[in-house]
Chains A and B, each alone.
Chain A
Amino acid sequence: MLIIEDLKAAISGKLILKGISLEVKAGEIHAIMGPNGSGKSTLAAVLAGRDFAEVTNGTVTYMGKNLLEMAAENRSKEGIFLGFQYPIEIPGVSMVNFMKTALNEHRKHKGLEPLSASDFLKLMREKKGLVEIDSKLTSRSVNEGFSGGEKKKNEIFQMAILEPKLAILDETDSGLDIDALRIVANGVNMLKRPDNAAIVITHYQRLLDYIVPDVVHVLYDGRIVKTAGRELALELEEKGYEWIKDHVEEN
């Protein structure tokens, strides 16, 4: 589904991603862990098409297409969803209007008729249950006045509506209490299908108690320095990122 080869990217001339290779297959959940500043969020931004990071080398192939040539909105319509670490507020734009516009753009891309207002509201009601999001929130402006946890739930809610092929969750667990964490993780698990995949970016192991990854990668200083099964997350939790640092320096 997604093949990244020797990807390098810089922000304002400073190299952040220093050659990343990675393959995600349909049905898999990959976790990317790493200390602050290792390049986790930059990787997510590059994949989603945010252009503050300049790609200087490498290729990214998504469903057989050159992802790096696609505009951000087309990546979305082709099934890539980014759960934001810091979801953005858009005052005055209701969640209903926002998501209806987004979903109908996706439908147009697939050659489908736009959903009527009543059908859309029905869909919203159905998906709301999935993430246990308060009805009050979906009638408000996009993320405006939402608490940190509500914003994150709202990301999963949007994901549930758009049903992406590849979900990239950028530190969705940060700032969540244990209940919110469970709800967010349940949402992700319920959306899992054999034909879609997820990349879960996280600083801590605890999210992986709820979302069980097939593969865990450790990102350090712009490189993937270790890849293994889910036991790697536990080992990392136990030994801390210092262990990785030592490991890297040894090699």
Chain B
Amino acid sequence: MEKDQDKILNDVTSGEYKYGFYSDIEMEQIPKGLNEDTIRIISGKKSEPEWLLDFRLKAFRYWQTMKMPQWANLKIPPIDYQEIIYYAAPKQKVSPKSLDDIDPELKRTFDRLGIPLEEQKHLSGVAVDAVMDSVSVRTTFRETLAESGIIFCSFSDAVREYPDLVRKYLGTVVPYTDNYFASLNSAVFSDGSFCYIPRGVRCPMELSTYFRINAANTGQFERTLLIADEESYVSYLEGCTAPMRDENQLHAAIVEIIAENHAEVKYSTVQNWYPGDKEGKGGIFNFVTKRGLCRGDNSKISWTQVETGSAITWKYPSCILKGDNSTGEFYSVAVTNNFQQADTGTKMIHIGKNTKSTIVSKGISAGRGQNSYRGLVKVLKNATGARNFSQCDSLLLGDKCGAHTFPYLEVDNQSAIIEHEATTSKIGEDQIFYCNQRGISTEDAIGLIVNGYAREVINKLPMEFAVEAQKLLQISLEGSVG
């Protein structure tokens, strides 16, 4: 068995990263480096109003007083912020109105990624905002959605076309002082998606943003702002990929969600940034702040994430349960293989009365991967009747990887009911043999067992993406037997 295991472990990288190609697209870039001028240039390129430039500059000045956080269970090599290019955009007209205005190479790139920019070719019922490096290339179905009063566009367009809405909500969930990477993002963010679902509207299709890093030596700092007005519903999905490079690239994003009375937002992520090679060289540093505010009574925000990519993942999609009877959910599958590291989890802050939160975290470690769950459940003094259920499971494949769990509980109200369950298991040789004995190969057995383990989370994804996520799980673990 030892010999077999070694052989199979060596085959780990046979699961090639499918999206590692680079597109030769004419780019407009600003010089590398970060100072107030950089920020003025970015703001100027987008012809932003004065208040937004002020917001950025305040964030930047604040960031300069901060230190990189060290508390995560991650080994992060030093990052030289002066060596990063903060703005890189495919050369094209600003927000092209027609497909003909888009560089054919760009169209080809997104076709290869399975994200056609032509509406008629796209998965039915899914609208996409396609972002490459620092800008949004195209948003599909914008007009169709507008018929129901839904605003779905790039962040830059939103600043131009709906400045009042953006100004009202920007930074209200994740303030620019929030944390090191959030402050950095607030200073230099370039694009992202904006979405507003008006009162009483059930969004008729899945909305999604597809992030692509293409240019070398750049960082991607996008920002997504999603507002669900009273009694509205939206399901939103993001995906992401990047070319294979030996250098690490920084991705520091912010997602802010606001749910008003009786509104419901489902936010799903299939994160497949380049994870680095089998020696741990290259890969994306994915340092992301995602937070939703259940501002209204009976509102609900649900995060689902399938994290298979990135060299290092540092993210904690969270819910602030401010409205009475509001609900927060976090469903996560995080895979670390080879030298990948992940420190991920959630924060559930119970403020309103009778608020409920559910946390289901499934970590999968293989190779030399290190996987940490870090989660905070906080119940404030006036949050009578708060309920939380947390389940944190870890699955280990092989004996060189690690799984860690860091649950934090802060409960200031006696009526709270908090449950926490945690398990750690190894894919057993006996499970694999049982499958073998029924005619199922070891590779397929692992796929079956891992997908069974992650099923609770995968089931939360929109159907089209659940199938994709299953395949992705299998590919990212190809060959890694324990």
Q: Which residues of A contact B (CB under 8 A)?
A: 48-52, 71-73, 75-77, 81-82, 84, 87-88, 90-93, 97-99, 101-103, 105-106, 109, 141-142, 158, 162
Contact = CB atoms under 8 A, between A and B. Distances in A.
A102 B431 CA distance: 14
Contacts of A97: 448
Contact of A87 (B1, B434, B444): B434
Q: Which of A92, A101, A106 is most buried by chain B, counting CB atoms within 10 A of its CB?
A: A92
Given A51-B1, A101-B448, A90 B436 contact: no
A103 to B, nearest CB: 8
B449 interface: yes
Contacts of A72: 433, 436-437
A141 B455 CA distance: 11
Given A98-B435, A98-B448, 7 more contacts: A49-B436, A91-B452, A102-B439, A103-B439, A105-B438, A105-B439, A109-B439
Contacts of A99: 438
Interface in B431-467: 431, 433-442, 444, 448-449, 451-456
Nearest to B393: A91
Given A51-B1, A88-B431, A101-B444, A158 B438 contact: yes
Nearest to A97: B448
A142 to B, nearest CB: 8
B430 interface: yes
Q: Kindly name the residue among B428, B439, B453, B454 whose own CB sees the greatest number of chain A CB atoms within 10 A.
A: B439
A105 B451 contact: no
6 contacts: A72-B433, A73-B440, A77-B439, A92-B451, A101-B444, A102-B435
A93 B455 CA distance: 8
B306 to A, nearest CB: 15
A141 to B, nearest CB: 7
Nearest to A48: B437
A71 B436 contact: yes
Contacts of A82: 437
A81 B1 CA distance: 21
B440 A92 contact: no
A92 B439 contact: no
Contacts of B4: 51
A7 B453 CA distance: 39
A92 B454 contact: yes
Contact of A76 (B439, B442, B452): B439
Contacts of B434: 84, 87-88, 90, 142
Contact of B436 (A52, A73, A93, A109): A73
Contacts of A73: 435-437, 439-442
B448 A52 contact: no
Nearest to B430: A88
A109 B409 CA distance: 53
A195 B188 CA distance: 75
Nearest to A107: B439
B436 A92 contact: no
Q: Which 3 A-B pairs have the closest CB atoms?
A: A92-B452, A93-B452, A72-B436
A77 B342 CA distance: 39
A162 B435 CA distance: 13
Given A72-B433, A84-B434, A88-B434, A102 B452 contact: no
Contacts of A52: 1
B440 to A, nearest CB: 6
Q: Which of B430, B436, B437 has the most CB of A within 10 A?
A: B437
Interface in B94-113: none
Interface centre among A73, A98, A109 (most CB of B within 10 A): A73
Nearest to B433: A50
Contacts of B436: 49, 71-73, 76
Nearest to B4: A51
B98 to A, nearest CB: 43
Contacts of B428: 88
A88 B433 CA distance: 9
B396 to A, nearest CB: 15
B430 A90 contact: no
Nearest to A71: B436
A139 to B, nearest CB: 14
Nearest to A52: B1
Contacts of A48: 437
B437 A98 contact: no
Nearest to A72: B436
Nearest to B450: A92
B471 to A, nearest CB: 15
A50 B442 CA distance: 13
Contact of A93 (B433, B437, B441, B448): B448
Output the residue of B431, B440, B444, B454 with the most chain A CB within 10 A. B440
A52 B1 CA distance: 7
Contacts of B451: 92-93
A76 B445 CA distance: 14
A142 B442 CA distance: 17
A51 B437 CA distance: 12
Nearest to A105: B439
Nearest to B455: A92
B453 A92 contact: yes
B448 to A, nearest CB: 5
B452 A106 contact: no
B441 to A, nearest CB: 5
Nearest to B458: A92
B448 A162 contact: no
A91 B423 CA distance: 13
Contacts of B441: 73, 105
Contacts of A84: 434, 437
A105 B437 CA distance: 12
Interface in B1-22: 1, 4
A84 B430 CA distance: 11
A99 B456 CA distance: 20
B439 A90 contact: no
A48 B263 CA distance: 56
Contacts of A50: 433
